[in-house]
Amino acid sequence: MSETFEPVIIGFTCNWCSYRAADLAGTARMKYAPNVRLIRLMCSGRLDPTFVMKALASGADGVLITGCHPGECHYIEQNYKALRRYLLLRRVLKGMGIAPERVKLVWASAAEGLKLAQEINTFVEEIRALGPLGWNRKLAGNGHALEQPAMEVTA
């Protein structure tokens, strides 16, 4: 393996804003870190916390959640619900001994390709600094990962 750690990140995007921001970043040929793999949802409100857990358990080192700016939700206000779940999720992660910073919520409108690219770059660096999570390896190892989560400094 190379000497620098290349994190793998799952990104959830909203069909109406951030997915289009990603399209825009592409159309405008903005370059950003290749570490994030995106999944399209119709709305950030669709984000089931299980998805995040599943991603982390399956080998992702971080999860990026993106949605429309507050007040700009295509479905009126569902991004607020995403925000509530996100805050809850971070508490749960912390309780499990996983650095809550591994999950991040970012607002990006359909016009903000550049912002999305920048946020992705920032987040990749943040996760790189946190180091690998390796939850899937723990799972593969003893099958009791949830009781024995990856070692994390949670100070």
Partner 1 sequence: MSAESGSKKPRVGVYVCHCGTNISHTVDVEQVREWAEKTLGAEGVVIARDYKFMCSSLGQELIEKDIKELGLERVVVAACSPHLHELTFRGASKRAGLNPYLTELASIREQVSWVHTDKAVATEKAKAVVAGAVERVIKNEPLEEIRVPIHPDTLVVGGGIAGIQAALEIANAGFKVYLVEREPSIGGHMAQFDKTFPTLDCAACILTPRMFEAGTHPNIELLTWSEVTHVAGYVGNFTVTVKKKPRYVNTDLCTGCGICVEKCPKKVVDDVYEAGLGYRKVVYTPFAQAVPKYPVIDAPNCTYFQKGTCKACEKFCPTNAIDFTQKEEYVTIQVGNIILATGYDLFDARRVSNYGYGRLANVFTSIEFERMSNAAGPTGGNIVLRDGKTQPKTVGIIHCVGSRDKNYNNYCSSICCMQSLKFAHLVKERTGATVYEFYIDMRTPMKAYDEFYQRVLEEGTLFVRGKVAQVTNAARNEREEGKLIIQVEDTLAGKQRRIPVDMVILSIGMEPRHDAKETSHLFGVGCSSDGWFIEKHPKLDPVSTMTEGVMIAGCATGPKDIPASVAQGAAAAARVLNKIMQKEVVLEPIKASIDQEKCSGCRICNGLCPFNAILFHEDRMVSEINPALCQGCGTCVAACPAGAISGTGFSNEQILAQIDGLLMDVNLAV
The site for partner 1 (CB under 8 A) is made up of: 8, 10, 16, 19-20, 22-23, 25-27, 29-32, 34, 37-43, 45-51, 54-55, 58-60, 68-69, 71-72, 74-78, 81, 85, 109-111, 117, 136-137, 140
SS3 assignment, position 37? strand
Q: How far is the CB of 135 from partner 1 (least distance, A)?
A: 11
What DSSP line would sit under 61-77, residue for residue?
SEEEEEEPPTT-BTTBS
Q: How far is the CB of 3 from partner 1 (least distance, A)?
A: 16
Helix, strand, coil share (%) of the chain residues, nearest 5? 45, 15, 40
Q: How far is the CB of 145 from partner 1 (least distance, A)?
A: 12
* Residue 21 or 96 with smaller CB distance to partner 1: 21
Q: Which helix (H) or strand (E) covers residue 104, if one does? A: strand 103-107
* Residue 10 or 99 with smaller CB distance to partner 1: 10
Residue type (1 letter), 85: R
